[in-house]
Amino acid sequence: MKMFRLNEDELLELAGAGLKTPLQQKDLFSSEIKLTHLKRIDKIFSKGLHYYLDPKSPNESKDSSIFFRKESFTTDNLNNRAISVVNQFEELKLSLEAIAKLSDLEYTRELKTITTDINPKSVAKEIRKHLYPNFSNKRRDFLKALIHKLAEFNILVFEFVEHPSRKEKANIDGFFLKPNFIVLKRHQAFRREIFTLAHELGHYLLNKEEIEQLELSHISNKNLSKIERWCNDFAFYFLAGNYSDGLDKLEVASSKNDYHFDTIKLISQNTHLSELALFTRMLLRNQISPKSYNNIKQDFEEQFRKRQEAIEKERQILKDRGIPQRGSVAKPINSPLFVSTIQTAFYEGIINEYEVSKRLKMKPEKIEQLIQ
């Protein structure tokens, strides 16, 4: 309850959602509890029923959770699903640290910690030499290559995928946990996920933990903290590379120069920064008026809405015709550092084949190929 920032009344309301008779204090806070009520509680906390059977008291140390290390976050209205996701990966982090220790593995930091006093552009230029992969127009391939590059420097990156049927989706895009743990939410728009990874890499370099949602309305806010502004600037320069110089030199966008649409499109195609993200950058540098920016933003949003409507219309037509539609939940990209850690733990006898299958979410028949 402390981790999820819930009081007793709030827990009763959440656990009793949908019941004709509201839950009472005695239902949840007595010496005994019904299994049906416990299952309702676990729908909120997602700990697994075995957790509540553990006779040991829950660990409230700063080492056990970022929610005990920090009181506030950039996204201050984290929903229960977001807290649950962070908690699950925090537990995974602690588990991997224990496995690594038993397997005599060390995740030594290979990139030095820096401060916000250092120019983010110069940092991005230097870091690109080590971490920026070969550019690919296929965004998922580029994201995967970037995750692999970070693994070479002992930085673990994980994706989490929200099932389409889940009612409450985590209202976060990513987070960084010390010392080397970055987690991303899988997006249909890989550009947003790529930017989130670059932003969280900034947090890693600063060694400042954070949980956040990186919407354009957030990025364009000039009242952000110094750390958030630094990470946004670093992410931009890391992804833009030499194209940042061309963007920074553009004159104020207006109808006279067609708002630089051709230039913006060219830069977007070669950097994985969305066109709207580039216009947002221009807004922050006073290279476009707020009015013009809002008009362009609304136009992009309308184009996106129409594309989504067309997709839904096509799906409905296929459904009406009785044509089966294939679809599966996206699989997260595995960091090679994570895979190698699990492999080593198996070879050392720390974990068994079942644990390998469970952690890597692989079918048992495919495990043999991995551990040969």
Dihedral sign of CA atoms 211, 216, 217, 222 in order = positive
pLDDT band (50, 70, 90) for residue 371: low
**What is the mean predicted confidence (pLDDT) over 78-99?**
92
Q: How far is CA 339 from the centre of its chain?
A: 19
**What is the mean predicted confidence (pLDDT) over 258-268?**
95
Q: How far is CA 71 from the centre of its chain?
A: 20
C-alpha–C-alpha distance, residues 174 and 310, integer Å = 29
C-alpha–C-alpha distance, residues 69 and 18, integer Å = 34
User: CB within 8 A of 103, min separation 6: which ones?
Assistant: 341, 344, 345, 348, 350
pLDDT at 256 over 80: yes
pLDDT at position 221 is 74
The string of pLDDT tens digits covering residues 143-156 is: 999 999 999 999 99
Own/partner contacts of 283-291, CB < 8 Å, gap of 24 or more, are: 283/220, 284/220, 284/222, 285/248, 286/252, 287/250, 287/251, 287/252, 287/253, 288/252, 288/253, 288/259, 289/252
* 303 phi, psi to nearest 5 deg: -60, -40
pLDDT at 4 over 90: no
C-alpha–C-alpha distance, residues 147 and 180, integer Å = 13
**Burial of 77 (C-beta count, 10 Å sphere; 0-12/13-18/19+):** exposed
Domain boundaries, the chain: 1-58, 77-301, 336-371
The string of pLDDT tens digits covering residues 152-169 is: 999 999 999 998 888 889
Q: How far is CA 321 from the centre of its chain?
A: 38
C-alpha–C-alpha distance, residues 328 and 70, integer Å = 37
pLDDT band (50, 70, 90) for residue 222: confident
